[in-house]
Structure 1
């Protein structure tokens, strides 16, 4: 993923760190991604098009540096659809939950790149939001 450099005052950092701790978010980067996604969502004027899909991809793999590097490479190739990545460590296994949004083709391509790699075990769940539940 591309890196953004940001300068803020100490008080803002302290407030951000407090919210990060309160929400149980593991890093400043993740809390900033959440904030950016919220800002974008709040300022979108229209509901996503019919070709727009939302899914959760769950991945688990061994704790190994080469596997981590491979995962990072695959996520960088599909960064435009990745909205967040959560991680849970369980002994020698890492479980990741990846929220994605984009066209069905983009999501399927990302899922197949992960599931086609013998290093990863993957599942995908598409999230269906009924039209009546869209907030204007």
Structure 2
């Protein structure tokens, strides 16, 4: 008999969380927003310069660090992401998903390798806040 897992717990990678929302942006606009100083501050942290290419590393002013593992323009960013104070890095994947409606794109944040259920809940709130911030920028038309 195996131990019962709780919501968000995986068999091998700790805990995970996924948050997604459809925004009123074309895919190119959503990508530009994510990589813009205003957008990346929401999800990555405060950083003057960052190279969005596979293998490049970063460290933000807040002490978040990581490495980009996959960069597929207009589609996906996959990176290790370790906030200051965390013992281990998590894996963060940001995907831009086309919708059936022109001018709309779903932005998806998926994070895995989280230590426990409490951290999962904290990160769920964090990514919901990030998407809310991105949506506010999109609704203000700053990307068009």
Q: Give the TM-score, by structure 2 length.
A: 0.34
Q: TM-score, length-normalised on structure 1? A: 0.36
